[in-house]
Structure 1
Amino acid sequence: MTMIRSPAVAGLFYSADARQLSQDVNDLLAEAKFNDFKPKALIVPHAGYLYSGAVAASAYASLRAAAATIRRVVLLGPAHRVAVHGLALPGVDVFDTPLGSVKLDQELAAAIAHFPQVTVSREVHALEHSLEVQLPFLQRVLGDFTLLPLAIGWTSAEDVAEILEQLWGGEETLIVISSDLSHYLPYAAAQRMDNETVQAILQLRQPIAHDHACGSIAINGLIIAAQQHHLTPHLLDLRNSGDTAGSRDRVVGYAAMAFN
């Protein structure tokens, strides 16, 4: 029997209606600036599309030139709802979205299952939005691909980098790190902190602190991997919720970055 992970935040973070969602994603991608980076890795925010969708779209728009060669996506995001040690696989066969189904890459999952920092937890993934919100963009830009989603809990950057190395692959494999930046600071303070964070990433300096980015452990792991593979990071977009759809009293920061 096929094990399916159903969408948890459709209708909350993005439209649950397939036609409307498709139109929303197409509009966001159409408005995004085109960058022909052919990235190996992306850092993408994961708030509701009203807040961070335009920033996310600037990352996914950078895949246009490389989309035809990408066949698998390794997607890492922080576990928000259920505490977990290490990196959690979902233990299912398919992730569903309103735009259709995405098959999980069982070959990749098997390749890392024996590592001590890797666990399997359907519970961790069941309500997790940080991975789910990336899928409609990936479905629209890439079409057919397999997915390896990992929810990141208590672990080290080195443990993440070790798993990334196992999953690295070639041009057919894209790494996506799902992370927002600062949380609930006043607008100007958030701008200062987020600029500091982005500059550190651009210089491949880690550790990035958890209060600077909710996906900091995965970002730090990517920085280690980027150093090993001689990747260059690029800033595609940097805004916060005060720039998009929210009050400027307490904002959340969003960056889109590409590594090639």
Structure 2
Amino acid sequence: MNPIRPAAVAGTFYPAQAAILRQNLQHHLHHAPAPPSGGQAASPWPKALIVPHAGYPYSGPTAASAYRSLASGRGKIQRVVLLGPAHRVPFRGIALSGADAFQTPLGALPVDHAGVTAIAQLPQVLELPIAHAQEHALEVQLPFLQEVLGPVSILPLVVGEASPREVAEVLDTLWDGPESVILISSDLSHYHPYAEARRIDNATVRQILHPDGTPIHHAQACGAIPINGLLQIAHRHRLQPRLLDLRNSGDTAGGRDAVVGYAAFAFFAESTTP
């Protein structure tokens, strides 16, 4: 048996006490805007999400808008594939954790071993526990998943130096049906004055909603590589993106001299029935 990956940022990015954490999650979810209708989508919940990953006082309200859109999938969504950028350890490729489960104050989420087996032979995929050990980008998503979806399996992947095509190949391998959801963890621009950040982030939002092949750059989003991989495959699978929320740390819990941008997007699969 491989080890359980313990919570690394509980008590800093989010509360370490289970009761306080659950109260915090419920507060953010209660105040999040109502999710958009799936319309003519193949499923009432999105196939993919882009969600920010700062501390909950900063990006929690925006993240909650994404997770509220998954609520109708409780009991039906079985697996969440999470991809986020490497903040701590530089490496080439896309890293598996080698763990059997990820711990949070709310319990442990099991890693989907069938999914691990499906991608482990891809040349860009490696097992690198150190890339996961202190990485917050994926961990901060887990308590929200536990609160909204209950006991689901996860496939956490830290993305190092990789190409959008390599990310898209991993996502394509793990695509499956509506019971499997993809989550890209990314903030937007970092440490610009408030007005400049809003200008940069609005332009990034337009690129994501109306992609023309121009890649998102790291100055626009720390998760640019997984976002670009998602956009590549979203076009192929005819996913329709919708903006759920856009703000920055100057709107939530910080000053406005140097802010970090946060946006939440939902990608719905088009229905194939007339």
1:216 corresponding residue in structure 2: 224
The aligned runs of 1:13-162 (5 Å cut-off) are: 13-35=13-35, 36-37=37-38, 38-162=45-169
1:252 corresponding residue in structure 2: 260
Residue identity opposite 1:15 in structure 2: P
3-state SS of 2:72 partner: coil
Distance 1:247 1:96 in 2: 32
The aligned runs of 1:197-216 (5 Å cut-off) are: 197-205=204-212, 206-216=214-224
3-state SS of 1:232 partner: strand
Percent identity between matched residues is 58
Distance 1:147 1:65 in 2: 18
Gaps of 5+ in 2: 39-44, 269-274
Q: How many residues align?
A: 260
Once structures 1 and 2 are overlaid, which stretch shifts more, 52-61 or 64-73? 64-73
Deviation at 1:140, TM superposition (A): 0.5
Deviation at 1:68, TM superposition (A): 2.9
Deviation at 1:204, TM superposition (A): 2.5
1:229 to 237, 245, 252: 237
1:165 corresponding residue in structure 2: 172
Distance 1:204 1:162 in 2: 19
Deviation at 1:207, TM superposition (A): 0.6
Contact persistence 1:160–1:221 (CA under 8 A): yes
3-state SS of 1:33 partner: coil
2:4 corresponding residue in structure 1: 4
Contact persistence 2:192–2:258 (CA under 8 A): yes
Residue identity opposite 2:93 in structure 1: G
2:181 to 164, 167, 174: 174
Once structures 1 and 2 are overlaid, which stretch shifts more, 174-183 or 65-74? 65-74
Residue identity opposite 1:31 in structure 2: H
Residue 186 of structure 1 pairs with residue 186 of structure 2: no
Deviation at 1:34, TM superposition (A): 1.4
Normalised to the residue count of structure 1, the TM-score between the two structures is 0.99
Distance 1:201 1:224 in 2: 11
Contact persistence 1:46–1:129 (CA under 8 A): yes
Residues 30-89 of structure 1, C-alpha deviations (whole Å, 9 max, x = no match) = 111111441000000000000000000000001122233200000000010011111000
Distance 1:101 1:68 in 2: 17
Distance 1:204 1:58 in 2: 22
Contact persistence 1:39–1:66 (CA under 8 A): no
Contact persistence 2:73–2:149 (CA under 8 A): no
